A and B are shown apart, each in its own frame.
Chain A
Amino acid sequence: MSPETAIIAALAVPALGALLIGLAGRVPNLREAITLTTAAALLAIVISLVLAWFDGARPDVTLLEMIPGLSLRFTAEPLGLLFALVASSLWIVNSIYSIGYMRGNAEHNQTRYYIFFALALTSTMGVALAGNMLTLFVFYELLTLSTYPLVAHHGTPKAVRSARTYMGVLMATSIGLLLFGMIWTWQAAGTLTFTPGGVFEGKIYQPLTGILLALFVFGIGKAALMPVHRWLPAAMVAPTPVSALLHAVAVVKAGVFAVVKVIVYIFGVEHLRTVINFDWLSIVAGFTIVAASVVALRQDNLKRRLAYSTVSQLSYVVLAAAILVPISVAGAALHIAAHAVSKITLFFAAGSIYTAAHKTEISQLDGIGKRMPWTMVAFGIGALSIIGLPPTIGFTSKWLILQGAFEAQNSVAIGVIILSTLLNAAYFLPIIYVAFFRSESGEAAPHGEAPWPMVLALTATAGLTVVLFFAPGWPLALAQELAGIVR
């Protein structure tokens, strides 16, 4: 398959999968088989694309000219490939998990669920492989729309209300700010193509750059920079696999991915270094990291704690990119992958606790490690990775970011990272402690592990978190390629 075909296929295969899932809706086993086949096919396509890229292929596909001079255009570059790789590989694991979860909890409307899940993956691929800002924006919006039914899945007043917040914040920021920034860029630079080194060199009045950047960074609401983070905890009403894949991987990562992409390919790292009023981004990101960690400390609901932890971790990526040295940009890219595998493990664990024990609050988890050893060990590994301790991939990405911060002598960033590591430990370690070292309280109904597909999935991602520490392979290689582009 030529890399150009592979790009088209990466977009078409999940969409086609969605169609087939819809047609097979009445036969659950067939429907789930289609989901898994589609996911496997997508991963194979993305892998072929990565291989081709390392062989020197630079595919560039232009589909339609939407506005004179502006087309729907797709290219492959290291950051996008890394994101596509993360999303497509975790989709397989997540599908296995979903089958266990949706059946284990006898959820309604399962066909709709799988259809929109597949559509969300198409949108994610579009974001990852976008060759210009317009294309990225198109698929960014489609991602919001295709995940809305997943967030509102339960249909209860609470779910609908939360989904409204989700949709409202993401739409308001993307239409109100991002679109504005995009058209402004088009007006000023005459192009929206992602160009190494940026498109603005000498084309915009310097002090305006900071404002324009703010339109982008806050307009990309999915990056959940404070104060536009509220949608993320709201979206936690969704079934857990949705939270896991979409709100630890696809949706939020599409956000920070877009931020890094804009910094590297629209503004240009080198260009931003010359901008005087750029510091605010590190400060906002640093504030989000710390503040969200503090909020996470105070949450008793497990998923909400994970949600705030996500808000905080996303800003690591933004902060790393804002440090503006190649090594930290590589760290930003790697952290997208690192946080994805670790956080999906944590969400999987939360969902498996809910399915097996029907527990949602941290205060109910005393002694649960004895009943669900696989789940809680995996949870522990995920937590270690978020804190940034070896032997997990979270350590590697944090190391790169910190190295960049020292290189740039950015004392704010160094301080924030150290403080937040402590906070991360403070909100995760107690959970592990109570799960393993406290005895069960009260008259808990006896239960064992969650259904096997779920345990399989969370063991796989936990394993991956560790394996990537010893053999970071493609994710690190792609991150370093990105650093090479930044220079």
Chain B
Amino acid sequence: MINSQLPILQVMVPLLAASLCAILPFRRLTWLIALAASLAALAISLNLLVLVLNDGPISYALGDWAAPWGIEYRVDALSAFVLVLVSALGSIIMVFAPTSLAREIDADRVFLFHAMYLLNLAGLLGMAVTGDVFNLFVFLEISSLSSYVMIGLGRDRRALTAAFQYLIMGTVGATFYVIGVGMMYMMTGTLNMADLGTRLPEVAATRTVIAAMAFIVVGLGLKLAIVPLHFWLPNAYAYAPTVVSAFLAATATKVALYALLRIVFTVFGGPAMIGLPVDQILLVLAIVAMFGASAVAIYQTDAKRLLAYSSLAQIGYMVLGISFLSATGLTATIIHLFNHALMKGALFLALGCIYLRLGSVQIEKMAGLGRRMPWTMGAFVVGGLSLIGIPLTVGFISKWYLIQAALERGWWLVAALILLSSLLAVIYVWRVVEVAYFQAPSDDMLQLREAPAVMVVPVWVLAGANVYFGVNPQQTIRAAQSAAAALLGGGG
């Protein structure tokens, strides 16, 4: 029965496709492989989601080695949700990619990009599917290494230093993570998440376990770009090819956040269990990110950097949801994880269209673009409104739950801060809108045309999703609520 093999196929399909791409130096062919693999991954993940929602979590023993000894793949509501998100965005971005890549990457390297993309996809999906903390480390490294290459593939030579910076920081993060894993193994003799979840409470009070948690949170915090650990992100997003920025912004940080949730709640059983005030630390860092990063975003001249800093602020919202340690808070985090992927996906892809025509995403050069490229800018505005949290977009739903979670805890000040910080988003989004719609275009822009349909359609699929899931969010909310319940239920 193929259904029982789905968890492993979820990873193997892109992984094998990646190796295939690496040995076939043809642009079109590798693109077809990458697209087909992404779509297959999407089909698998949708199947998994349906199975999980109907019949509960799925456990898969790799190589038939039973759970605590062998590697277990475990799919529950949360992981299935993340799998669908990653593979869906991967598929949409792949449809968009060829035209954009032709402009931003040398033609003879495009097949390498496809290989790296698939490797990255496999890594991200693997992180979400695995139930083993060391296996998670392996996939983390697969996805990280491939993303360093993807960032550096562009024609912009500044991308090389950005990739190098990310390489250093990412390696530090991964090392911290693996140190934490080693400590846990030392104390319990197991690497299986569920097994760790039952064994750790016995040794919870030891300093080793506390240190393990600290190492892991910092390590994943680096991948997630929680604010003081964020320095690699703005450069990486700004100088990478736009397709890469879109993919990483929409998926990589989301999966890192997933890993953090998984470790903190499933493995450690929540911060309270260990006695480390992770929640309070995250609360402070989240608020710093919400305000600091948004304030920096306001002063950016490059639209891609602007979005990168905005991502840092949005990650702050997700982290904030964790710090509430409540079902509503986690629901808000998971909803925003999904919603933010839709927003940033749409926004970065819109910038990809602009780069294609304009050769730049400097805000000042976008004067009058609203008339030249109405569809692209329209999608940008929709994404921007969603980022602000205007009702009828997904951003509003995220904000609603986040504030509700804050009020539920009685944290009035935090609720007020969430609202205040979202006003900063109005400023940085509106800077672009004003230039694009109310400044006269320069002369060399007069012959500018709208981007081709293969690019505009994916952008609008994502922009449309921002509205669709904003008007009709029951599915997202229900999935997020059951995922949050599974996390708090311990293992689930």
Q: Which A residues are closer than 8 A to B by beta carbons?
A: 64-68, 72, 134, 137-138, 141-142, 145, 149, 152, 155, 159-160, 163-164, 167-168, 171-172, 175-176, 179-180, 183-184, 186-187
Given A179-B419, A180-B403, A186-B404, A66 contacting B471 (CB threshold 8 A) = yes
Q: Which B residues are closer than 8 A to A by beta carbons?
A: 385, 388-392, 397, 399-400, 403-404, 407-408, 415-416, 419-420, 422-423, 426-427, 430, 434, 437-440, 471-474, 477
Q: Which residues of B contact A164 (CB under 8 A)?
A: 430, 434
Most chain B beta-carbon neighbours within 10 Å: one of A137, A141, A179: A179
Q: Which residues of B contact A68 (CB under 8 A)?
A: 474, 477
B407 touching A175 by the CB < 8 A rule?
Answer: no
Q: Which residues of B contact A142 (CB under 8 A)?
A: 391-392
Most chain B beta-carbon neighbours within 10 Å: one of A67, A137, A160: A67
B419 touching A180 by the CB < 8 A rule?
Answer: yes
Smallest Cβ distance from B29 to chain A, in angstroms? 42
Given A67-B400, A172-B423, A187 contacting B472 (CB threshold 8 A) = no
Which one of A64, A137, A184 contacts B471 once the chains associate, using CB atoms below 8 Å?
Answer: A64
A138 touching B391 by the CB < 8 A rule?
Answer: yes
Given A67-B477, A155-B438, A183-B400, A175 contacting B415 (CB threshold 8 A) = no
CB-based nearest A residue for B406: A183
Smallest Cβ distance from B388 to chain A, in angstroms? 8
Smallest Cβ distance from A141 to chain B, in angstroms? 6
Q: Which residues of A contact B437 (CB under 8 A)?
A: 149, 152
Smallest Cβ distance from B265 to chain A, in angstroms? 23
Bound CA span A142–B471, Å: 14
B419 touching A167 by the CB < 8 A rule?
Answer: no
Smallest Cβ distance from A295 to chain B, in angstroms? 27
| 14 further interface pairs, Cβ-Cβ under 8 Å (given A141-B390, A183-B403, A183-B404) | A64-B471, A65-B474, A138-B392, A141-B391, A142-B392, A145-B390, A152-B438, A159-B438, A160-B438, A179-B419, A180-B403, A180-B415, A184-B407, A187-B404
B423 touching A180 by the CB < 8 A rule?
Answer: no
Smallest Cβ distance from A140 to chain B, in angstroms? 9
Q: Which residues of B contact A145 (CB under 8 A)?
A: 385, 390
Q: Which residues of B contact A64 (CB under 8 A)?
A: 471-472
B385 touching A175 by the CB < 8 A rule?
Answer: no
The secondary-structure label for the interface of chain A is helix
CB-based nearest B residue for A161: B434
Smallest Cβ distance from B192 to chain A, in angstroms? 35
Smallest Cβ distance from A352 to chain B, in angstroms? 27
A137 touching B391 by the CB < 8 A rule?
Answer: yes
Q: Which residues of B contact A141 (CB under 8 A)?
A: 390-391
B477 touching A176 by the CB < 8 A rule?
Answer: no
Bound CA span A71–B397, Å: 13
Smallest Cβ distance from A125 to chain B, in angstroms? 16
B438 touching A187 by the CB < 8 A rule?
Answer: no
Which one of B397, B408, B415 contacts A67 once the chains associate, using CB atoms below 8 Å?
Answer: B397
Bound CA span A66–B400, Å: 11
Which one of A66, A72, A160 contacts B434 once the chains associate, using CB atoms below 8 Å?
Answer: A160
Smallest Cβ distance from B28 to chain A, in angstroms? 38
Bound CA span A68–B390, Å: 18
Q: Which residues of B contact A172 (CB under 8 A)?
A: 423, 426
Smallest Cβ distance from B123 to chain A, in angstroms? 35
CB-based nearest A residue for B477: A68
Which one of B397, B407, B439 contacts A187 once the chains associate, using CB atoms below 8 Å?
Answer: B407
Smallest Cβ distance from B285 to chain A, in angstroms? 23
Q: Which residues of A contact B438 (CB under 8 A)?
A: 152, 155, 159-160, 163
CB-based nearest B residue for A138: B391
B408 touching A187 by the CB < 8 A rule?
Answer: yes
A-B contact list, 5 entries, CB within 8 Å: A175-B388, A175-B422, A176-B416, A180-B403, A183-B400
Which one of B392, B426, B440, B474 contacts A171 once the chains associate, using CB atoms below 8 Å?
Answer: B426
Q: Which residues of A contact B415 (CB under 8 A)?
A: 180, 183
Given A67-B400, A183-B404, A171 contacting B419 (CB threshold 8 A) = no
Smallest Cβ distance from A144 to chain B, in angstroms? 9
Smallest Cβ distance from A423 to chain B, in angstroms? 35
Smallest Cβ distance from A51 to chain B, in angstroms? 31
Bound CA span A87–B472, Å: 30
Q: Which residues of B contact A137 (CB under 8 A)?
A: 391
Bound CA span A219–B18, Å: 53
B403 touching A67 by the CB < 8 A rule?
Answer: no
Smallest Cβ distance from B442 to chain A, in angstroms? 15
B440 touching A175 by the CB < 8 A rule?
Answer: no
Bound CA span A183–B407, Å: 8
Smallest Cβ distance from B445 to chain A, in angstroms? 16
B426 touching A168 by the CB < 8 A rule?
Answer: yes
Q: Which residues of B contact A171 (CB under 8 A)?
A: 388, 423, 426
Q: Which residues of A contact B426 (CB under 8 A)?
A: 167-168, 171-172, 175
Q: Which residues of A contact B472 (CB under 8 A)?
A: 64, 66
B423 touching A175 by the CB < 8 A rule?
Answer: yes
Q: Which residues of B contact A67 (CB under 8 A)?
A: 397, 400, 473, 477
CB-based nearest B residue for A183: B403
Bound CA span A137–B397, Å: 13
CB-based nearest A residue for B403: A183
Bound CA span A172–B385, Å: 14
Smallest Cβ distance from A209 to chain B, in angstroms? 16
Q: Which residues of A contact B408 (CB under 8 A)?
A: 187
Q: Which residues of B contact A187 (CB under 8 A)?
A: 404, 407-408
Bound CA span A66–B394, Å: 10
Q: Which residues of A contact B399 (CB under 8 A)?
A: 179
CB-based nearest A residue for B433: A148
Bound CA span A340–B392, Å: 29
B419 touching A176 by the CB < 8 A rule?
Answer: yes
Smallest Cβ distance from B419 to chain A, in angstroms? 5
CB-based nearest A residue for B427: A168
Given A164-B434, A175-B419, A183-B404, A155 contacting B440 (CB threshold 8 A) = yes
Q: Which residues of B contact A65 (CB under 8 A)?
A: 474
Smallest Cβ distance from B382 to chain A, in angstroms? 11
B430 touching A167 by the CB < 8 A rule?
Answer: yes
Most chain A beta-carbon neighbours within 10 Å: one of B391, B400, B404: B391
CB-based nearest B residue for A72: B471
Given A183-B404, A187-B404, A176 contacting B420 (CB threshold 8 A) = yes
Q: Which residues of B contact A167 (CB under 8 A)?
A: 426, 430
Q: Which residues of B contact A168 (CB under 8 A)?
A: 426-427
* Nearest 10 pairs of A and B residues by beta carbon: A138-B391, A155-B438, A160-B438, A187-B407, A183-B403, A176-B419, A171-B426, A152-B438, A172-B423, A141-B391
A180 touching B416 by the CB < 8 A rule?
Answer: yes
CB-based nearest B residue for A171: B426
Smallest Cβ distance from A62 to chain B, in angstroms? 13
Q: Which residues of A contact B440 (CB under 8 A)?
A: 155
CB-based nearest B residue for A63: B471
Bound CA span A483–B439, Å: 49
Bound CA span A214–B387, Å: 27
Smallest Cβ distance from A422 to chain B, in angstroms? 40
Smallest Cβ distance from B420 to chain A, in angstroms? 6
CB-based nearest A residue for B397: A67
Q: Which residues of B contact A184 (CB under 8 A)?
A: 407
Bound CA span A180–B388, Å: 15
Smallest Cβ distance from B430 to chain A, in angstroms? 7
Bound CA span A179–B403, Å: 10
A66 touching B416 by the CB < 8 A rule?
Answer: no
Smallest Cβ distance from B336 to chain A, in angstroms? 14
CB-based nearest B residue for A177: B419
CB-based nearest A residue for B472: A64
Bound CA span A167–B426, Å: 9
Most chain B beta-carbon neighbours within 10 Å: one of A64, A149, A171, A176: A171
Smallest Cβ distance from B434 to chain A, in angstroms? 6
Bound CA span A184–B407, Å: 7
Smallest Cβ distance from B261 to chain A, in angstroms? 22
